[in-house]
Amino acid sequence: MVFLNRISMKSGPLPNGYPFTLPVIEAFAPIEFRSAVTFLVGENGSGKSTLLEAIAVGLKCPNVGAQDVGREPMLNEARKLAQHLTFSRRKHPRNKLFFRAEDAIGFTRRVSSELSELDEISEDFNKDLSGYGRTLAMGAVAGQRHAFTSRYGEKPDGKSHGEWFLEVMQSRIHRNGLYLLDEPETPLSPIRQLSLLSMIRSMAAQNCQFIIATHSPILMALPDAEILQFDNRITSVPWDQVEHVEITKAFLNDPASFLRHL
């Protein structure tokens, strides 16, 4: 399923300054999304994450992070870009999600803080209330706490980033959804990247669309996915012609030749 099928730049001159000075933005041509899974690849600073963030802002995607996309200070530049983009959709997804791997710590802390606060409220209700009122109040708090723990576990900060990430993906990715992931491989071992790859493939078959900024040759290898490479412009490339893939292959075939030049 493809919900977002096209992004184009509005007519008129672009502002000065970042991110409008990025080569891919200065030379921006409409992007057509033809596959249920699209990978955005390129060097750091090429603009792939900035564009992904602008999509998240423009579509008002919920953010798995410390703050939502409308208030997150680190998305100020993306908000500027989003104002100059037009998003064309075939239909609206039932679910949306934006996730940056770097937000994992902030979000984990937020969930842990919410659980601690609910525990304190419950203790106060137990001391200050009585009878049926106490039962109702404590039941409401217990319900909120159960909603958190059923989704994120009793101790979300007691897990590795990789474990937490995969559990969040499993709990938040549902059929008929649009999901924007920024470098999801960051906290994952190669084995767990394969687990994520399997999850993405399974959910793409259940009417989900994924747009993923990544450096991972493992994720990029997903069959039937489209790979958009960010250089001076954005072009569609096959997996075996992606620079990250070529370098990784060459290094694994002959690491000594690379290490001699370091």
For residue 138, name the pLDDT band (cuts at 50, 70, 90): confident
Sign, CA torsion 69/5/52/100 = positive
For residue 262, name the pLDDT band (cuts at 50, 70, 90): confident
For the range 164-167, what are the long-range contacts, defined as Cβ-Cβ under 8 Å and sequence gap of 24 or more?
Answer: 164/104, 164/108, 165/101, 165/104, 165/196, 166/192, 166/195, 166/196, 166/199
Residue 51 clears pLDDT 90, i.e. is over it = yes
**Domains in the chain: boundaries:** 4-103+174-259, 106-156
Please give, one letter per residue, the 3-state secondary structure of the chain: CCCEEEEEECCCCCCCCCCCCCHHHHCCCCEECCCCEEEEEECCCCCHHHHHHHHHHHCCCCEECCCCCCCCHHHHHHHHHHCCEEEEECCCCCEEEEEEHHHHHHHHHHHHHHHHHHHHHHHHHHHHCCHHHHHHHHHHHHHHHHHHHHHHCCCHHHCCHHHHHHHHHHHHCCCCEEEEEECCCCCCCHHHHHHHHHHHHHHHCCCCEEEEECCCHHHHCCCCCEEEEECCCEEECCHHHCHHHHHHHHHHHCHHHHHCCC
Cα–Cα distance between 157 and 82 in angstroms, integer? Answer: 33
Across the range 72-96, mean pLDDT stands at 90
Is residue 101 within 8 A of residue 184, CB to CB? The reply is yes
24-48 pLDDT, tens digit each:
999 999 999 999 999 999 999 999 9
Q: Which of 54-68, 126-140, 143-157, 245-259 has the highest mean pLDDT?
A: 245-259
Across the range 8-34, mean pLDDT stands at 93
Token pair listed for 204: 């793409």
Q: What is the pLDDT, as a whole number, of residue 50? A: 94
Q: What is the pLDDT, as a whole number, of residue 146? A: 75
- CATH number for the region 4-103+174-259 comes to 3.40.50.300
152-174 pLDDT, tens digit each:
666 655 556 667 778 777 878 89
Q: What is the pLDDT, as a whole number, of residue 154? A: 64
